[in-house]
Chain A
């Protein structure tokens, strides 16, 4: 079996470090980077710039349509406004069909159509004052564009969809503090967001091994970061209010799952670093709450807390370095 370290440093960082130490002659550095295969060539830069400009262009076109309508609100009639946004949606769907949704331009056209759909719903709500709540706009938006998201097979579009779903849930709980007679507390909103983002993370992570277009590290890391940030907030809240039960079960479970998946199955130090940060923040909140509850806190509690934070952060960095140096199959 070929065994190598799971890798803390990229080849690029290693070669540049040697160059700085003088181990690679200055005039051969560009050759060395080329041999190591870590610098993009002009053709790859061209492809990257094409993708970048395409996605920025699609987003700017959507924003431009909305700004055009907002700036000419009184000058444009009802039909002109609806016509403009609907033409944009129909035009981008036709473009997606013509360009083919298996290629990036087609996917970018679907992204534009999905964003314009939000504009259309906002325009509808503004024109007819339906009395609908804001969360309904986002929920309808998410529902209406779902078929496009499903056919687009585009990780970025799924992340946009997740952002809309998160907004809908957040707004729902701020409008409906109670449902079926059960009164929601503010942290129920956070629990709902935590469950949705963690489920999405789990499903995405499982499918990523089989579906190639879902295997985008940045998207999975973004879902992990939102799941972890929300849970850390809930843990901090539970420590401050001394309401333990649910968090006491969920938090260790989440940490164990993170360790099991991202250390033992899939090696991703980003997730482990994120979990470390979450533990550091939670322990710090715990210490502060304990000290604040004392009638006469000992001298220098803040210095002690500072030292604890320093110690935990340094330990996390040392541990992450050790994990990275471990051989993996």
Chain B
């Protein structure tokens, strides 16, 4: 770790940049982001408890979904502000997490088809991961989108595809990190979030959770193909890294 000004000077000496060192405010290291994320979820649980007990009855899925969407929208407006205070950002994070929980629970009660619910949640979380400009938020939304997608695939009979598909998405994002540097603050948190989702999918795969929960869904994709796809992805990524 060097002082940013020293890094800038190295770059200037190599003729890559000129002028004085511009300001830099990269995202905090991963463990500080994890602290913010866990704190956000902890606060969201208390917001949900407050709303459930004191504000409105939880037995109306339509109301829950609408209120949840409004909370997400309110939080997103805060994240779009140019200058954002840490306390306000953290409050917005908790409000959005609580809102997402309301939308997920509300949607699950509105729709009958479990597969449609999972696809809808995956789509919503993916949109939030791309549109809401806050790194910690992007990462958790991308993780939620990845897990919801894996559940949707499982309910479609393609459970064994999810690990390979997630691995391919993660590989694509990281291999193109520099080519897409102008969108780096979106690409990196989404890649981290999808990695978390892949770990969750792998852990439950090893524990065979799906067989207990959704054993009635026939799986048309064989586990062997499911295991081969991440292996192929790994080999492609390794080959790309060695060529570069």
Contact = CB atoms under 8 A, between A and B. Distances in A.
Given A284-B42, A311-B87, A299 B28 contact: no
Given A303-B46, A317-B86, A26 B11 contact: no
A20 B25 CA distance: 11
B109 interface: no
23 contacts: A9-B24, A10-B1, A17-B184, A20-B182, A20-B185, A24-B17, A26-B182, A30-B178, A36-B7, A42-B242, A45-B242, A45-B244, A269-B32, A273-B32, A277-B35, A277-B38, A280-B42, A303-B50, A306-B47, A307-B91, A309-B94, A316-B35, A320-B28
A13 B16 CA distance: 17
Given A13-B27, A302-B47, A302-B49, A309 B42 contact: yes
A318 interface: yes
A19 B26 CA distance: 11
B206 to A, nearest CB: 11
A6 B184 CA distance: 25
Contacts of A313: 35-36, 39-40, 42-43, 90
Interface string B42-57: 1110110110011000
Contacts of A316: 35, 39
Given A31-B16, A314-B87, A17 B43 contact: no
B81 interface: no
Contact of B3 (A5, A276, A315): A5
B2 A11 contact: yes
Contacts, number: 168
A171 interface: no
A19 B182 contact: yes
Interface in A21-80: 21-26, 28-33, 35-36, 42, 45-46, 49
B89 to A, nearest CB: 8
Given A19-B181, A33-B178, A309 B39 contact: yes
Contacts of B7: 11, 14-15, 36
Contact of A14 (B24, B35, B86, B244): B24
A118 B56 CA distance: 55
A13 B244 contact: no
B14 A20 contact: no
Contacts of A13: 26-27
Given A36-B10, A49-B242, A302-B54, 12 more contacts: A8-B29, A16-B184, A42-B243, A46-B242, A280-B39, A303-B47, A306-B44, A306-B94, A309-B39, A309-B46, A314-B87, A321-B32
